[in-house]
Structure 1
Amino acid sequence: MATILHIDSSARPGRSDLAPHGSHSRRLTARFIENWLQHRPDDTIMYRDVGANPPAPVTGDWIHAAFTKPDQREHWMQDVLAESDMLIDELLKADVIVAGVPMYNFGMPAQMKAWIENIVRVRRTFGFDRSRGTIPYWPMVTDNKSVVVLSSRGDYGYNPGERIAHLNHVEGGVFTPLEYIGITDHHSAAIEYDEFADTRTHQSIMTAENDTAKIVEKLVAQHGT
């Protein structure tokens, strides 16, 4: 059996296929889960809505606690890191992470960034040792996980090689830190033309849903044994 960590980060509370002002990214992640369960109904789905309930941002106390060796931490340090520990434990249980990450001002929502800041952590998901010389860092998430980013964009042309690809910091903003901790299998799909509200929007939705279904088929074959 596989375990899927389903994350939504949109500030919009509903899905665009069910609510007039709903979220496209929530729509895509829901479709991903629905398609996955059609193939493997007994797999485990963990759900976290960071859009509605964002993790606490990293603070000076958090940094102090994280860089203190576990056997030297005071009780308050353990309390400060408790949410981070919970989020990391979820991540480590998952075989596939599917995240709905809409584009806000060319990057990910702050809620999603807070999740990333909490799961990229020394001694838990990456190692650091000065004695290793010029490359003192190494990834600690060594099992074969996959991450899927399902996004939405008001404009169009953000895909690699297209007219404004250089302005897109969503997928890279998620994939880069996750690759740093050891998750290197990346997949993505996105709805564009949202602000145009015309036939191009509807066509983009259909294309993104089809792309999402293809990602599911690939990952079911990859993780479904």
Structure 2
Amino acid sequence: MANILHVDSSPRSERSRSRRLAREFMDAWLNSHPDDAVTYRDLRLTPVPHITEEWIAADFTPPEALTGDMAELLAFSDELVNEFLAADHCVFSVPMHNFGMPSNFKAYIDQVVRVGHTFLLENGQFSGLAEGKKVLLITTRGVEYGPGSPFEGWDCLEPGLRYAFRFMGVKDFQFIQATGLDLGDDAERRGLNTAQSRLRELVSSW
């Protein structure tokens, strides 16, 4: 039995293709692993606040010195961090917005990357605290970003996600990308079919 954290970040609901892919994967996964426990978070319904100067001050205050107001500022972040650290597998669906991640998922990352919680800083060296975790990132893109495309090199989504989770100690990544989804019906169908095929394969090998 494993603990699964599933987070959807698209501001769309039923029209979201990243949600659809993640839902299909989770349905297939739970059909094969019925004893696994799932924690689900929808960032559309529970928006993540952006960090503030006061939040930063509280985050870098030793736990024993936190005031009640500081602890309250960090309470939601603590909840997100605990969910992340408790998970064996994490499934994140993240559409590309303007070449990068949606602002709500960037806010999520900012609330989860926490000194003393998901990484350590000792003698000027950083080390992650989330080793041993498997992370699946399901991303959707309106156009193509591969070699030879007009947008080659413009993909700021995968590098940003990869480095954020690697910084927290994650080494086991899977990226499933559905691309070209806004280039017409045929391209959308190809992009979704390719992603769905890879996700089906992952159910038995992840």
Fold in common (TM above 0.5)? yes
Give 1:137's aligned amino acid.
F
Structure 2 unaligned runs (5+)?
A: none
- 1:54 is paired with a residue whose SS is coil
Q: CA deviation at 1:197?
A: 2.6
- Which residue type is aligned with residue 53 of structure 1? T
1:42 corresponds in structure 2 to: 35
TM-score (norm 2): 0.95
What percent of counterpart residues are identical?
A: 35
- State the aligned residue count: 205
Please give the alpha-carbon distance, in whole angstroms, between the structure 1 residues aligned to 2:105 and 2:69: 25
Q: Structure 1-normalised TM-score?
A: 0.87
Match in the other structure for 1:24: 17
Output the aligned Cα RMSD.
Answer: 1.3
Q: Specify the alignment match of 1:67 in structure 2.
A: 60
1:25–1:101 CA contact under 8 A, matched in 2? yes
2:156 aligned residue: 169
Secondary structure in structure 1 of the residue aligned to 2:49? coil
Distance 1:150 1:106, change over 3 A: same
The answer for the alignment partner of 1:222 in structure 2 is none
- Secondary structure of residue in 2 paired with 1:6: strand
1:109-132 CA-to-partner distances (Å, cap 9, x unmatched) read 001001100000011111123xx2
Output the CA distance in 2 between the equivalents of 1:168 and 1:2. Answer: 32
**Over 4 Å off, 4+ runs:** none
**2:195 matched residue in structure 1:** 208
Counterpart of 1:197 in structure 2 is 184
Match of 1:18 in 2: none
Q: Tell me the amino acid that sits aligned with residue 148 of structure 1.
A: L
> Deviations along 1:144-191, whole A, 9 cap, x unmatched?
1111111111111x24x4533411111221121111011111111122
In 2, the alpha carbon distance for the partners of 1:162 and 1:174 equals: 23
Query: What is the rounded CA distance, in whole Å, between the counterparts of 1:51 and 1:218 in structure 2?
Result: 30
Matched, 1:150 2:128: no
Instruction: Say which of 115, 121, 127 aligns to 1:138.
Output: 127
Find the aligned partners of 2:58 and 2:88 in 1 and give their Cα distance. Answer: 28
Tell me the residue number matched to 2:119. Answer: 126
CA distance in 2 between counterparts of 1:96 and 1:162 reads 34
CA distance in 2, matches of 1:165, 1:68: 43
Cα 1:165–1:211 shift into 2, 3 Å: farther
Gaps of 5+ in 1: 15-21, 220-225
2:2: which partner in 1? 2
Q: CA deviation at 1:57?
A: 0.7
